[in-house]
Amino acid sequence: MIKRRNLDSRSLVADIGEWLSYDLTAGIADAFAIAVQNPYDYDVIIDRALIYTTTAGGTGSSVGNLDVVASATATGDDIFDGVDLNATAIYDSLNAADNGTNGEGKSWVWDEKNGTNDYLTLKILAEDASSLAGTVYIHILKT
C-alpha cells in the first residue's frame, strides 16, 4: 500500500519539487514571450526547463533566450541561448544540443519574490515571432 503524506506547498516543493508552466506570448523582435516573477517568498532552484513550441513564430530567423534575471525587462541566455522560435519543437535544458552557445545544462537559483534575480524571461530576438504559441515548463526545488 502506498501511503500519502500530507504536505503543505512549501514542504512539497522542498521534498519532490514542482512543475510550473507559463504560456508563450507571440510578439515582435525584442518583445518578451514570457516575463514572470518568482511566485514564492523563498529562493528556488530551477533544475530543468522545457520550451514547447506548438505553433512556429512565423519568421525564419526568430530565436529566443531564456534566463533568470533582475527584472521583467532584462534578458540573459544562461538557460537557453538562441532557441529557434520558428519551429514546432520541444527544447530541453538537459539536452546540450538544445542549449545554444551560452546555455548551460545545469541548475539555476531563482531568487525569492522581490529578490535580486527574481524574474524568468524569454526574450524574442532577431525577428518577429508573431504566430508563436506554446509553453515554458520549469521544474523547481526549494533551496
Instruction: Show the domain range for 100.
Output: 21-142
Assess if residue 12 is contained within a domain.
no
Whether 133 shows a pLDDT value over 90: the answer reads yes
Residue that is written with C-alpha cell 524571461 in the block:
121
With a pLDDT cut of 90, the percent of the chain lying above it is 80
What are 60-113's pLDDT values in tens digits? 999 999 999 999 999 999 999 999 999 999 999 999 999 888 888 899 999 999
Q: Give pLDDT, residue 98.
A: 92
Assess if residue 52 is contained within a domain.
yes
Q: Give pLDDT, residue 6.
A: 57
Whether 4 shows a pLDDT value over 60: the answer reads no
Q: Give pLDDT, residue 16.
A: 83
The backbone region for 124, taken as left when phi is positive above 0, alpha when psi lies in -120 to 50, beta otherwise, is: beta
Total structural domains within the chain: 1
Assess if residue 1 is contained within a domain.
no
pLDDT (average), residues 6-21: 73
Phi, psi of 67 (to 5 degrees): -165, 165
Assess if residue 133 is contained within a domain.
yes
The C-alpha atoms of residue 25 and residue 21 are separated, in whole angstroms, by: 13
Q: Give pLDDT, residue 22.
A: 98
Nearest to 110 by CA among 101, 122, 120: 120
Assess if residue 15 is contained within a domain.
no
Q: Give pLDDT, residue 75.
A: 96
Residue positions counted in the chain? 143
Indicate the pLDDT class of residue 3, thresholds 50, 70 and 90.
very low
pLDDT (average), residues 9-20: 74
Burial of 58 (0-12, 13-18, 19+ CB in 10 A): middle
Assess if residue 60 is contained within a domain.
yes
Q: Give pLDDT, residue 121.
A: 98
Residue 3: its H or E element: none
Mean residue pLDDT of the chain comes to: 92
Q: The whole model's pTM is what? A: 0.88
Alpha-carbon separation of residue 108 from 6, 53, 86, 88 (angstroms): 28, 22, 26, 26
Q: Give pLDDT, residue 101.
A: 85
